[in-house]
Structure 1
Amino acid sequence: MRVNIRAQRRWSPPRRALCSPLPRRLLSVLGCKTVLKDETQAVCPYCKEKEGEIYQREMTALSALEAKFGRLWTQCQRCQGSLHEEVICTSRDCPIFYMRKKVQKDLTEQDKRIERFGIPSW
């Protein structure tokens, strides 16, 4: 007695190729959150009149992140026992270590957002 092997297999959707392109993340306007056509700009023509307000908000967020990182860095230095040396901490069970790394990542992202405004021309 022959068993039909194809009848026993379950149907599965076709697989994507391993080299298929990933979806690209588009930049959005920092004010109204619409997708930017020109990725070198920070605001759209509609938000241009609020550019100073948006820039100030982003700078305030950057300042808050820098202060938080400074506090966490100082706490790590105190834990290490030296306030004058670089922190050499890789403790995986320390919540301060993870908070410091997250704030460090947020700082780089915030800095990129501010760089989109370009060099200020006063």
Structure 2
Amino acid sequence: MPIFVIQLSKAEIQHRWDLASAAKKAELKRSLRDPKVWLEQAMSFTGAAIKTFCLMLVVDSVFRDQGITAPMSLSFFLCTPIVAFNPWQMFWRYVPLDRASAAFQEVIKELNDKL
């Protein structure tokens, strides 16, 4: 359990949470206007496209190993839901939200270090 949960009053905990949430919101707004963040997001989607293509090749090779001659579009339709739902951020990530969460954690860490 974090140190501030054990030793501080509920009002102080709420104050810290509000500060960290405000930092997260401000960083998210700033990130949405930063062209470098959108470039990083585009690179993330490019990586997702490459990973999707590789996954399609794996699925297609599994079909061929089983003796099933299936068109490549079948592999595409089987892989698309996996990539779209993006379990555990395996294929792509939302960069502005990552930066906002990092800002939230940084504020909490700074407040904990002051104790």
| TM-score scaled by length of structure 2 | 0.38
Greater C-alpha Rg: 1
Please state which structure has a larger fraction of its residues in helix: 2
| TM-score scaled by length of structure 1 | 0.36
